């Protein structure tokens, strides 16, 4: 039986890198494991490489020898940390390698919503463009406006850099603590969340999903934003009350939104967000370039190998389980 299991295909070189731990099981290119296939492969597995598969009690019951689950993502809300802790299973993730790629998407969504790129592409393709439209085609400027970043981690810094030096934007940020380096590098100003929402022309949400951040953006907070403001979510879908967001977009509490994440993924085709012309929706593509996804997978493999070799200090262990790594 397989000793290492990956829920997505691996290259020959990646499989060879893992082969010293035993057989490597992964689906063929263009396929995914069924649940039955995955559970069968996990029976003797010591390591799991995942891309969002829920690692919970149900899965772990099928993997009695598992020592580490390594996800090719920064977020790890698909890890049931309590269940993993009970079984002394380490979890690893892949920060750093996707920061610039996600920040690029943040700027793309800001521009797309502000300049109505998707809406006006449909306008042209639908044969509606005619001379004399003028004001009907107007969007709003991004340059020299105020950007509020909620969650100033590595991606927030990469976004602030683009906004400040590429678009001469003023930067506000809200985080659990102040960051002097951000304030010095980008002229950023720390603000309480209500003040940030009230002052910003663009609000980008970059917080991890925790009990404290679930529904962080709710009716009260959307109402604090300017009617001319644009909201961008690059964090997790559950950080936003989507009913409140739909109401904010329909009733003009805010000008528009750009979304990469949703409470339910894929988004149901009848979701009310998809009927609104002032929202741009993309399918959770924050890190979706070939170079970045390959780098994330390579790091997930390196994390798994480091744990199995007993070099946990060389792996990006998720913070909530680091004490297990220190115990050995």
From 93, 157, 236, 293, active-site residue: 236
Catalytic residue among 154, 284, 320, 322: 284
Can you read off the two tokens belonging to residue 319? 């913070």
Q: Of 61, 214, 220, 265, which is the active-site residue? A: 265
Task: Determine whether 236 is an active site residue.
Answer: yes
* 32 catalytic per annotation: no
Q: At what angle do helices 99-114 and 154-167 cross, to 10 degrees?
A: 50
Buried b (16+ CB within 10 A) or exposed e, 65-81: ebbbbbbbbbbbebbbb
Contact 241, 214 (CB under 8 A): no
Catalytic annotation present for 263: no
Q: Can you tell me the distance from the alpha carbon of 319 to that of 74, in angstroms, rounded to the nearest whole number?
A: 12
Residue 246: name the closest of 233, 237, 238, 256 by CA: 256
What is the C-alpha separation between 317 and 298, in angstroms, rounded?
15
249 burial (CB, 10 Å; 0-12 / 13-18 / 19+) is: buried
Task: State the catalytic residues.
Answer: 236, 265, 284
């Amino acid at each position: 039986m397989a000793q290492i299991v990956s829920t997505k295909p691996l290259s020959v070189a990646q499989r060879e890198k893992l082969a010293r731990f035993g057989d490597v099981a992964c689906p063929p290119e263009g396929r995914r494991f069924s649940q039955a296939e995955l559970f069968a492969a996990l029976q003797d597995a010591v390591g799991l490489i995942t891309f969002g598969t829920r690692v919970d009690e149900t899965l772990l019951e099928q993997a009695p020898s598992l020592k580490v689950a390594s996800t090719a993502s920064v977020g790890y809300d698909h890890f049931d940390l309590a269940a993993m802790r009970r079984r002394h299973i380490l979890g690893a993730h892949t920060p750093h390698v996707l920061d610039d790629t996600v920040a690029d998407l943040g700027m793309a969504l800001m521009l797309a919503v502000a300049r109505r790129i998707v809406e006006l592409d449909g306008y042209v393709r639908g044969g509606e463009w005619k001379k004399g439209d003028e004001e009907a085609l107007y969007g709003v400027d991004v340059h020299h406006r105020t950007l509020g970043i909620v969650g100033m981690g590595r991606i927030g810094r990469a976004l602030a850099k683009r906004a400040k030096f590429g678009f001469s934007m003023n930067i506000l940020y809200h985080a659990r603590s102040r960051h002097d380096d951000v304030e010095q590098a980008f002229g950023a100003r720390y603000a309480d969340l209500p003040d940030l929402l009230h002052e910003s022309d663009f609000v980008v949400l970059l917080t991890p999903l925790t009990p404290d951040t679930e529904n962080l953006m709710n009716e009260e907070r959307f109402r604090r934003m300017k009617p001319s403001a644009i909201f961008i979510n690059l964090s997790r879908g559950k950080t936003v009350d989507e009913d409140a967001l739909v109401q904010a977009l329909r009733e003009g509490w805010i000008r528009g939104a750009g979304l990469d994440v949703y409470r339910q993924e894929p988004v149901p085709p009848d979701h009310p967000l998809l009927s609104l012309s002032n929202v741009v929706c993309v399918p959770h593509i924050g890190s979706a370039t070939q170079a970045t996804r390959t780098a994330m997978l390579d790091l997930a493999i390196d994390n798994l190998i480091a744990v199995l070799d007993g070099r946990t200090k060389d792996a990006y262990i998720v913070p909530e389980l680091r004490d297990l790594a220190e115990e050995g």
